[in-house]
Amino acid sequence: MRRWLIPLTSILLTTTSVSVAAQSLEARLIGNAAIEISDGTTTLMTDFPYESGAFGYLPYPPETLTSRPGSICLITHSHADHFAPALVERVGCRVLAAPSVQSLVPAAQRLQWDGRRFEADGLRIEAIPTAHMEGHNSYRVEWHHRVFYFTGDTESTVELLEQRELDVLFITPWLADRMGDRWEEVARRLVIYHRAPGQSVASKPGWEIPDLGDVIDLTPGDSGQ
Ligand SMILES: [Zn+2]
């Protein structure tokens, strides 16, 4: 019996790893609210490039500003700790943001969209206007059958509480505090982003708190536990 069981187990493991590898998504915390996500073909960056160290928030190494041709920079708002228009050319991305934020870069560096919904190459992005400053958006992103949500700097819980079935919620510590346990009504995983340097966040049940440069596995089926 043992002889039969071992090959069968090997086949099952092989099949599983092949299907997972086909849809692999990996995320990395660059700093502040900057998350870089790649499926091996397309790269999506949230709130990057920003001004390293702006307002005392997290700096990043200069080599982070390497060119990623064909990438998308998804920007929540124009505060310098989230967006530095002058650095977009070095990153080589095209910018997706509210029209007033997109207007800060030359037309060639903007992605064309209606300001609410964007869809291309299996990537679906919905802008959710939220309070913080003029032109501030939170974003709901669907990619490879996963749903992500990026709060940006908003302090409003209203729009977030209307969400359901989010796979990963990227959220600031202060908004996570305001949400309390209610985040579990809207998301399966909660990842804290936009910490100040040296700021320790008192972890609460289920919170994931990555450090600078940490890789966050977003492979479908990953529970994050
Ligand atoms: Zn801000």
Cα 34 to ligand 1 centroid, rounded to whole Å: 13
User: Rounded CA gap, 169 and 68, in Å?
Assistant: 25
| Cβ–Cβ < 8 Å for 30, 184 | no
Q: How far is the CA of 149 from the centre of ligand 1 (A)?
A: 17
Comparing C-alpha atoms, which of 140, 168, 148, 151 is closest to residue 224?
A: 168
pLDDT of residue 221: 58
Residue 217 alpha carbon to ligand 1 centre in Å: 27
**Residue 81 DSSP one-character state:** T
Tens of pLDDT, residues 33-71: 999 999 999 999 999 999 999 988 889 999 999 999 999
CA 141 to ligand 1 centroid distance, Å:
20
Task: Determine the pLDDT at residue 220.
Answer: 64
- The H or E element spanning position 15 is helix 2-22
The domains located in the chain, with CATH, are 24-213 (3.60.15.10)
Residues sharing a CB contact under 8 Å with residue 65, sequence separation 6 or more, in sequence order:
49, 87, 90, 91
CA gap 222, 136 in Å, rounded: 31
Query: Hey, what are 78's tokens?
Result: 């124009």
Give the distance (Å) from ligand 1 centre to CA of residue 81. 7
CA of 132 to the centre of ligand 1 (A): 7
Query: Hey, what are 216's tokens?
Result: 């966050």
Q: Which residues of the chain have pLDDT under 70?
A: 1-22, 220-225
pLDDT at res. 199 = 76
How close is the Cα of 31 to the center of ligand 1, in Å? Answer: 14
Ligand 1 mean position to 128 CA, how many Å?
A: 16
What separation in Å is there between the alpha carbon of 111 and the centre of ligand 1? 22
Concatenated DSSP letters of 189-219: EEEE--PPTT------TTEE-PPTT-EEE--
How remote is the CA of residue 37 from the centroid of ligand 1, in Å?
A: 22
